[in-house]
Amino acid sequence: MRRSAAALVAVSLGLTMSAIAFQGASAATTQSPTEALTSAGGGDGIGTLREEAAKAGILIGSGAIKAMTTTTDGRPPNYLSDPQFRNVLAEQFNSLSPENDLKWMFVQPKEGVFDFEGLDRLVAFAKANDMEAKGHGLISACCNPDYLVAKIDDPVAFRAAMVKHFNKVMKRYKGKMDRWDVVSEPLTTFGGQGLQQTDFYKALGPGYVAEAFRIAHSADPKASLYLNENLVEYYPEKRQELYDLVSGLVADGVPIDGVALQMHETLQAPPPGVITEMVNFFHALGLEVSIAELDVHTFDPLSQAQIYGAVVSEALNAGITDISFWGFTDKHLYTWLPGAKPLIFDEYYNPKPAYFAVRDALRNFVQKRGSSPPAARQAVLQQ
Protein backbone atom coordinates (compact mmCIF):
# COMPACT_ATOMS: atom_id res chain seq x y z
CA MET A 1 0.00 0.00 0.00
CA ARG A 2 2.82 2.46 0.80
CA ARG A 3 3.96 2.44 -2.82
CA SER A 4 0.77 4.22 -3.81
CA ALA A 5 1.02 7.12 -1.35
CA ALA A 6 1.98 9.69 -3.97
CA ALA A 7 -0.75 8.44 -6.25
CA LEU A 8 -3.33 8.81 -3.53
CA VAL A 9 -2.24 12.39 -2.95
CA ALA A 10 -3.06 12.99 -6.58
CA VAL A 11 -6.44 11.34 -6.09
CA SER A 12 -7.19 13.61 -3.14
CA LEU A 13 -6.25 16.70 -5.14
CA GLY A 14 -8.55 15.64 -7.94
CA LEU A 15 -11.63 15.25 -5.78
CA THR A 16 -14.12 18.09 -5.68
CA MET A 17 -15.53 17.69 -2.19
CA SER A 18 -14.41 20.46 0.13
CA ALA A 19 -12.91 19.52 3.50
CA ILE A 20 -13.58 21.18 6.81
CA ALA A 21 -10.59 21.85 9.05
CA PHE A 22 -10.03 19.14 11.60
CA GLN A 23 -10.82 20.42 15.07
CA GLY A 24 -8.10 18.59 16.93
CA ALA A 25 -7.64 15.27 18.65
CA SER A 26 -9.27 14.26 21.89
CA ALA A 27 -7.27 14.88 25.01
CA ALA A 28 -5.55 11.99 26.66
CA THR A 29 -7.88 9.94 28.81
CA THR A 30 -7.57 7.34 31.51
CA GLN A 31 -10.86 5.72 30.50
CA SER A 32 -10.89 2.12 29.43
CA PRO A 33 -12.09 1.47 25.87
CA THR A 34 -15.44 0.28 27.22
CA GLU A 35 -15.85 3.42 29.36
CA ALA A 36 -14.91 5.57 26.39
CA LEU A 37 -17.60 3.92 24.29
CA THR A 38 -20.19 4.55 26.99
CA SER A 39 -19.27 8.20 27.47
CA ALA A 40 -19.24 8.74 23.71
CA GLY A 41 -22.77 7.47 23.35
CA GLY A 42 -22.17 3.76 23.03
CA GLY A 43 -24.00 2.73 26.18
CA ASP A 44 -27.23 2.06 24.30
CA GLY A 45 -27.34 -1.69 24.57
CA ILE A 46 -25.58 -2.14 21.24
CA GLY A 47 -22.45 -4.25 21.31
CA THR A 48 -18.96 -3.86 19.97
CA LEU A 49 -18.13 -4.14 16.29
CA ARG A 50 -17.17 -7.74 16.92
CA GLU A 51 -20.48 -8.54 18.60
CA GLU A 52 -22.50 -6.84 15.88
CA ALA A 53 -20.47 -8.58 13.16
CA ALA A 54 -21.04 -11.97 14.78
CA LYS A 55 -24.80 -11.50 14.51
CA ALA A 56 -24.43 -11.05 10.77
CA GLY A 57 -21.77 -13.70 10.22
CA ILE A 58 -19.30 -11.03 9.14
CA LEU A 59 -15.55 -10.92 9.58
CA ILE A 60 -14.63 -7.46 10.86
CA GLY A 61 -10.93 -6.92 11.19
CA SER A 62 -7.91 -4.71 11.43
CA GLY A 63 -5.00 -4.92 9.08
CA ALA A 64 -1.72 -3.01 9.34
CA ILE A 65 -0.83 -4.78 12.59
CA LYS A 66 2.88 -4.49 13.18
CA ALA A 67 4.21 -7.28 15.40
CA MET A 68 7.92 -7.17 14.53
CA THR A 69 10.36 -5.98 17.22
CA THR A 70 12.26 -3.86 14.69
CA THR A 71 11.03 -0.98 12.54
CA THR A 72 12.21 0.70 9.36
CA ASP A 73 9.75 3.59 9.13
CA GLY A 74 10.35 5.47 12.38
CA ARG A 75 7.12 4.27 13.97
CA PRO A 76 6.96 2.07 17.08
CA PRO A 77 7.56 -1.64 16.54
CA ASN A 78 5.31 -4.41 17.86
CA TYR A 79 1.98 -2.71 18.46
CA LEU A 80 0.93 -5.80 20.43
CA SER A 81 3.27 -4.76 23.25
CA ASP A 82 0.76 -2.00 24.11
CA PRO A 83 -1.89 -3.42 26.51
CA GLN A 84 -4.53 -0.93 25.41
CA PHE A 85 -3.90 -1.72 21.74
CA ARG A 86 -4.26 -5.43 22.48
CA ASN A 87 -7.45 -4.95 24.46
CA VAL A 88 -9.23 -2.86 21.84
CA LEU A 89 -8.07 -5.12 19.01
CA ALA A 90 -9.39 -8.25 20.72
CA GLU A 91 -12.60 -6.62 21.92
CA GLN A 92 -13.61 -4.99 18.65
CA PHE A 93 -12.42 -7.33 15.89
CA ASN A 94 -12.58 -11.00 14.94
CA SER A 95 -9.81 -10.96 12.33
CA LEU A 96 -6.41 -9.36 11.81
CA SER A 97 -3.61 -9.19 9.29
CA PRO A 98 -0.03 -7.88 9.30
CA GLU A 99 1.29 -4.65 7.84
CA ASN A 100 4.76 -5.48 6.47
CA ASP A 101 5.68 -8.53 8.52
CA LEU A 102 4.84 -10.92 5.65
CA LYS A 103 6.46 -8.95 2.84
CA TRP A 104 9.44 -10.71 1.34
CA MET A 105 12.31 -8.50 2.55
CA PHE A 106 11.02 -8.63 6.12
CA VAL A 107 10.20 -12.31 6.43
CA GLN A 108 13.26 -13.52 4.44
CA PRO A 109 15.75 -10.63 4.70
CA LYS A 110 18.66 -12.83 3.65
CA GLU A 111 18.37 -15.73 1.26
CA GLY A 112 17.45 -18.82 3.24
CA VAL A 113 17.20 -16.85 6.52
CA PHE A 114 13.64 -16.35 7.73
CA ASP A 115 12.38 -14.09 10.50
CA PHE A 116 9.04 -15.36 11.80
CA GLU A 117 9.12 -13.68 15.20
CA GLY A 118 6.52 -11.02 14.44
CA LEU A 119 4.24 -13.33 12.46
CA ASP A 120 4.37 -15.99 15.16
CA ARG A 121 3.38 -13.34 17.70
CA LEU A 122 0.51 -12.18 15.49
CA VAL A 123 -0.80 -15.70 14.93
CA ALA A 124 -0.54 -16.56 18.63
CA PHE A 125 -2.51 -13.43 19.53
CA ALA A 126 -5.20 -14.34 17.01
CA LYS A 127 -5.49 -17.87 18.38
CA ALA A 128 -5.64 -16.69 22.00
CA ASN A 129 -8.46 -14.28 21.15
CA ASP A 130 -10.50 -16.44 18.76
CA MET A 131 -9.60 -14.29 15.77
CA GLU A 132 -8.86 -15.24 12.18
CA ALA A 133 -5.33 -14.38 11.05
CA LYS A 134 -5.04 -13.49 7.37
CA GLY A 135 -1.89 -13.50 5.28
CA HIS A 136 -1.16 -10.20 3.54
CA GLY A 137 1.73 -9.30 1.25
CA LEU A 138 2.97 -12.62 -0.13
CA ILE A 139 3.88 -10.78 -3.35
CA SER A 140 3.81 -7.00 -3.56
CA ALA A 141 5.27 -4.34 -5.80
CA CYS A 142 7.62 -3.23 -3.05
CA CYS A 143 9.86 -4.81 -0.49
CA ASN A 144 11.85 -7.29 -2.56
CA PRO A 145 15.37 -8.05 -1.28
CA ASP A 146 18.43 -7.56 -3.44
CA TYR A 147 19.17 -11.27 -3.67
CA LEU A 148 15.77 -11.84 -5.31
CA VAL A 149 16.10 -8.88 -7.68
CA ALA A 150 19.48 -10.25 -8.76
CA LYS A 151 17.68 -13.29 -10.23
CA ILE A 152 15.47 -11.27 -12.61
CA ASP A 153 17.52 -12.30 -15.65
CA ASP A 154 17.23 -15.98 -14.74
CA PRO A 155 13.51 -16.92 -14.78
CA VAL A 156 14.18 -20.49 -13.65
CA ALA A 157 16.11 -19.36 -10.58
CA PHE A 158 13.57 -16.62 -9.86
CA ARG A 159 10.66 -19.05 -9.96
CA ALA A 160 12.57 -21.53 -7.81
CA ALA A 161 13.05 -18.78 -5.22
CA MET A 162 9.30 -18.13 -5.27
CA VAL A 163 8.55 -21.81 -4.71
CA LYS A 164 10.95 -22.03 -1.76
CA HIS A 165 9.64 -18.81 -0.23
CA PHE A 166 5.95 -19.70 -0.61
CA ASN A 167 6.48 -23.22 0.70
CA LYS A 168 8.43 -22.08 3.75
CA VAL A 169 5.99 -19.33 4.70
CA MET A 170 2.66 -20.91 3.84
CA LYS A 171 3.43 -24.35 5.23
CA ARG A 172 4.57 -22.82 8.52
CA TYR A 173 1.16 -21.17 8.92
CA LYS A 174 -0.96 -23.89 7.33
CA GLY A 175 -4.16 -24.13 9.35
CA LYS A 176 -3.27 -20.88 11.14
CA MET A 177 -3.54 -18.50 8.19
CA ASP A 178 -6.12 -19.89 5.79
CA ARG A 179 -6.63 -16.81 3.63
CA TRP A 180 -3.82 -15.09 1.70
CA ASP A 181 -3.37 -12.00 -0.45
CA VAL A 182 -1.12 -13.75 -2.97
CA VAL A 183 -0.52 -10.82 -5.33
CA SER A 184 -1.03 -7.19 -4.30
CA GLU A 185 -1.39 -4.25 -6.69
CA PRO A 186 -0.51 -5.96 -9.98
CA LEU A 187 -2.02 -3.16 -12.08
CA THR A 188 -0.55 0.29 -12.73
CA THR A 189 -1.69 2.85 -10.20
CA PHE A 190 -4.28 4.76 -12.24
CA GLY A 191 -5.00 2.05 -14.80
CA GLY A 192 -4.84 2.18 -18.55
CA GLN A 193 -1.41 0.56 -18.82
CA GLY A 194 -2.05 -3.00 -17.76
CA LEU A 195 0.27 -4.78 -15.36
CA GLN A 196 2.97 -2.94 -13.45
CA GLN A 197 6.55 -3.62 -14.46
CA THR A 198 7.38 -5.20 -11.10
CA ASP A 199 10.35 -7.44 -10.38
CA PHE A 200 8.06 -10.44 -10.81
CA TYR A 201 6.82 -9.17 -14.17
CA LYS A 202 10.38 -8.51 -15.34
CA ALA A 203 11.45 -12.03 -14.39
CA LEU A 204 8.45 -14.09 -15.47
CA GLY A 205 6.41 -11.86 -17.76
CA PRO A 206 2.65 -11.23 -17.50
CA GLY A 207 2.06 -14.85 -16.54
CA TYR A 208 3.64 -14.25 -13.12
CA VAL A 209 0.24 -13.54 -11.55
CA ALA A 210 -1.18 -16.92 -12.55
CA GLU A 211 2.08 -18.63 -11.63
CA ALA A 212 2.03 -17.09 -8.15
CA PHE A 213 -1.45 -18.47 -7.50
CA ARG A 214 -0.46 -21.92 -8.73
CA ILE A 215 2.61 -21.96 -6.49
CA ALA A 216 0.56 -20.77 -3.51
CA HIS A 217 -2.11 -23.40 -4.11
CA SER A 218 0.55 -26.10 -4.26
CA ALA A 219 1.99 -24.90 -0.95
CA ASP A 220 -1.41 -24.97 0.80
CA PRO A 221 -4.22 -26.51 -1.29
CA LYS A 222 -6.89 -25.69 1.30
CA ALA A 223 -6.07 -21.98 1.64
CA SER A 224 -8.25 -19.27 0.11
CA LEU A 225 -6.19 -17.21 -2.32
CA TYR A 226 -6.94 -13.57 -3.14
CA LEU A 227 -5.73 -10.88 -5.51
CA ASN A 228 -5.45 -7.47 -3.79
CA GLU A 229 -5.90 -4.20 -5.72
CA ASN A 230 -6.38 -0.49 -5.04
CA LEU A 231 -8.18 2.54 -6.53
CA VAL A 232 -10.50 0.48 -8.73
CA GLU A 233 -13.52 2.14 -7.14
CA TYR A 234 -12.40 5.50 -8.57
CA TYR A 235 -11.03 4.62 -12.02
CA PRO A 236 -13.40 2.82 -14.43
CA GLU A 237 -10.59 1.91 -16.83
CA LYS A 238 -8.59 0.29 -14.05
CA ARG A 239 -11.71 -1.47 -12.82
CA GLN A 240 -12.21 -2.96 -16.28
CA GLU A 241 -8.57 -4.06 -16.35
CA LEU A 242 -9.13 -5.83 -13.04
CA TYR A 243 -12.24 -7.51 -14.42
CA ASP A 244 -10.30 -8.65 -17.48
CA LEU A 245 -7.33 -9.89 -15.45
CA VAL A 246 -9.40 -11.87 -12.97
CA SER A 247 -11.85 -13.30 -15.50
CA GLY A 248 -8.84 -14.45 -17.53
CA LEU A 249 -7.38 -16.20 -14.50
CA VAL A 250 -10.68 -17.96 -13.85
CA ALA A 251 -11.04 -18.97 -17.51
CA ASP A 252 -7.54 -20.47 -17.42
CA GLY A 253 -8.33 -22.54 -14.34
CA VAL A 254 -5.99 -20.60 -12.06
CA PRO A 255 -6.75 -21.40 -8.39
CA ILE A 256 -7.98 -17.96 -7.31
CA ASP A 257 -10.73 -17.73 -4.69
CA GLY A 258 -11.37 -14.03 -4.32
CA VAL A 259 -10.56 -10.37 -4.85
CA ALA A 260 -9.55 -8.04 -2.01
CA LEU A 261 -10.46 -4.39 -2.56
CA GLN A 262 -8.19 -2.05 -0.62
CA MET A 263 -10.62 0.91 -0.39
CA HIS A 264 -8.40 3.78 0.77
CA GLU A 265 -10.88 6.66 0.52
CA THR A 266 -9.85 10.31 0.31
CA LEU A 267 -12.31 13.14 1.04
CA GLN A 268 -15.34 11.39 -0.43
CA ALA A 269 -16.98 8.01 -0.78
CA PRO A 270 -16.82 6.01 -4.01
CA PRO A 271 -19.66 6.64 -6.46
CA PRO A 272 -22.82 4.90 -5.21
CA GLY A 273 -23.27 1.49 -6.75
CA VAL A 274 -19.63 0.89 -7.67
CA ILE A 275 -19.01 -1.55 -4.81
CA THR A 276 -22.18 -3.45 -5.73
CA GLU A 277 -21.12 -3.56 -9.38
CA MET A 278 -17.74 -5.07 -8.49
CA VAL A 279 -19.21 -7.60 -6.09
CA ASN A 280 -21.79 -8.73 -8.63
CA PHE A 281 -19.13 -9.15 -11.31
CA PHE A 282 -16.82 -11.26 -9.17
CA HIS A 283 -19.62 -13.27 -7.59
CA ALA A 284 -20.74 -14.18 -11.11
CA LEU A 285 -17.28 -15.70 -11.60
CA GLY A 286 -17.73 -17.75 -8.43
CA LEU A 287 -15.30 -15.60 -6.41
CA GLU A 288 -15.50 -14.02 -2.98
CA VAL A 289 -14.94 -10.29 -2.48
CA SER A 290 -13.47 -8.66 0.61
CA ILE A 291 -12.58 -5.15 1.69
CA ALA A 292 -9.02 -5.44 2.92
CA GLU A 293 -7.63 -2.01 3.85
CA LEU A 294 -10.48 0.44 4.44
CA ASP A 295 -9.58 3.86 5.81
CA VAL A 296 -10.93 7.36 5.18
CA HIS A 297 -8.59 10.34 4.82
CA THR A 298 -10.52 13.54 5.57
CA PHE A 299 -10.24 16.59 7.82
CA ASP A 300 -13.81 16.52 9.13
CA PRO A 301 -14.82 13.74 11.57
CA LEU A 302 -18.49 13.90 10.56
CA SER A 303 -17.73 13.67 6.85
CA GLN A 304 -15.40 10.80 7.65
CA ALA A 305 -18.16 9.01 9.54
CA GLN A 306 -20.56 9.42 6.62
CA ILE A 307 -18.02 7.91 4.23
CA TYR A 308 -17.27 4.96 6.50
CA GLY A 309 -20.97 4.33 6.96
CA ALA A 310 -21.71 4.55 3.24
CA VAL A 311 -18.89 2.17 2.27
CA VAL A 312 -19.67 -0.43 4.93
CA SER A 313 -23.43 -0.28 4.30
CA GLU A 314 -23.09 -0.78 0.56
CA ALA A 315 -20.50 -3.52 1.03
CA LEU A 316 -22.74 -5.47 3.41
CA ASN A 317 -25.83 -5.08 1.24
CA ALA A 318 -23.83 -6.19 -1.80
CA GLY A 319 -22.86 -9.43 -0.09
CA ILE A 320 -19.36 -8.77 1.25
CA THR A 321 -18.77 -10.78 4.42
CA ASP A 322 -15.17 -9.81 5.18
CA ILE A 323 -14.24 -6.18 5.96
CA SER A 324 -10.89 -5.05 7.36
CA PHE A 325 -9.60 -1.58 8.18
CA TRP A 326 -6.03 -0.43 7.58
CA GLY A 327 -5.44 -0.10 11.30
CA PHE A 328 -7.92 1.16 13.86
CA THR A 329 -6.23 3.83 16.00
CA ASP A 330 -4.78 7.14 14.88
CA LYS A 331 -1.92 6.45 17.28
CA HIS A 332 -0.46 4.40 14.42
CA LEU A 333 -1.94 6.23 11.46
CA TYR A 334 -0.42 6.49 8.02
CA THR A 335 -1.78 9.14 5.65
CA TRP A 336 -0.86 10.80 2.37
CA LEU A 337 -3.09 13.77 3.25
CA PRO A 338 -1.21 15.91 5.81
CA GLY A 339 -3.36 16.54 8.86
CA ALA A 340 -5.85 13.76 8.15
CA LYS A 341 -6.58 11.16 10.82
CA PRO A 342 -8.06 8.26 8.89
CA LEU A 343 -9.01 5.61 11.46
CA ILE A 344 -12.05 4.90 13.64
CA PHE A 345 -10.39 5.39 17.06
CA ASP A 346 -8.32 8.44 17.94
CA GLU A 347 -4.75 8.25 19.21
CA TYR A 348 -6.01 7.74 22.77
CA TYR A 349 -8.30 4.85 21.77
CA ASN A 350 -11.45 6.94 22.05
CA PRO A 351 -14.07 5.95 19.46
CA LYS A 352 -14.67 8.59 16.80
CA PRO A 353 -17.94 9.27 14.96
CA ALA A 354 -16.60 6.90 12.30
CA TYR A 355 -16.67 4.05 14.81
CA PHE A 356 -20.37 4.54 15.48
CA ALA A 357 -21.10 4.86 11.77
CA VAL A 358 -19.53 1.44 11.19
CA ARG A 359 -21.29 -0.06 14.19
CA ASP A 360 -24.63 1.34 13.08
CA ALA A 361 -24.12 0.03 9.55
CA LEU A 362 -23.57 -3.45 10.99
CA ARG A 363 -26.57 -3.12 13.30
CA ASN A 364 -28.85 -1.87 10.54
CA PHE A 365 -27.77 -4.68 8.25
CA VAL A 366 -28.61 -7.26 10.91
CA GLN A 367 -31.99 -5.68 11.60
CA LYS A 368 -32.80 -5.62 7.90
CA ARG A 369 -31.62 -9.11 7.08
CA GLY A 370 -31.94 -10.96 10.36
CA SER A 371 -29.23 -12.45 12.51
CA SER A 372 -28.69 -15.83 10.87
CA PRO A 373 -25.04 -15.89 9.75
CA PRO A 374 -24.40 -16.94 6.16
CA ALA A 375 -23.20 -20.52 5.92
CA ALA A 376 -19.84 -19.34 4.59
CA ARG A 377 -19.10 -17.60 7.88
CA GLN A 378 -20.89 -19.93 10.33
CA ALA A 379 -17.88 -22.25 10.60
CA VAL A 380 -15.51 -19.33 11.21
CA LEU A 381 -17.62 -17.99 14.05
CA GLN A 382 -17.86 -21.41 15.70
CA GLN A 383 -14.11 -22.07 15.73
For the annotated catalytic residues, the residue numbers are 185, 293
Residues with Cβ < 8 Å from 131, sequence gap 6 or more? 61, 90, 93, 94, 95, 96, 125
Angle between helices 155-172 and 208-219 (to 10 degrees): 40
Residues with Cβ < 8 Å from 213, sequence gap 6 or more? 182, 183, 225, 227, 249, 254, 255, 256
User: Which runs of E-coded beta strand occur in 27-98?
Assistant: 59-65, 95-98
Residue 299 Ramachandran class (φ > 0 left, ψ -120 to 50 alpha, else beta):
alpha
Smallest Cα–Cα separation from 278: which of 258, 306, 303, 294?
258
- CA 99 and chain centroid, separation: 9
Residues with Cβ < 8 Å from 27, sequence gap 6 or more? 348
Three-class secondary structure of residue 260 per DSSP? strand
- What is the C-alpha to C-alpha distance for residues 198 and 217, in angstroms, rounded to an integer? 22
Smallest Cα–Cα separation from 264: which of 302, 226, 205, 307?
307
- What is the C-alpha to C-alpha distance for residues 304 and 183, in angstroms, rounded to an integer? 29
Three-class secondary structure of residue 166 per DSSP? helix
User: What is the secondary structure of 126-141 as a DSSP string?
Assistant: HHHTT-EEEEEEEE-S
The answer to whether the CB of 249 falls within 8 A of the CB of 197 is no
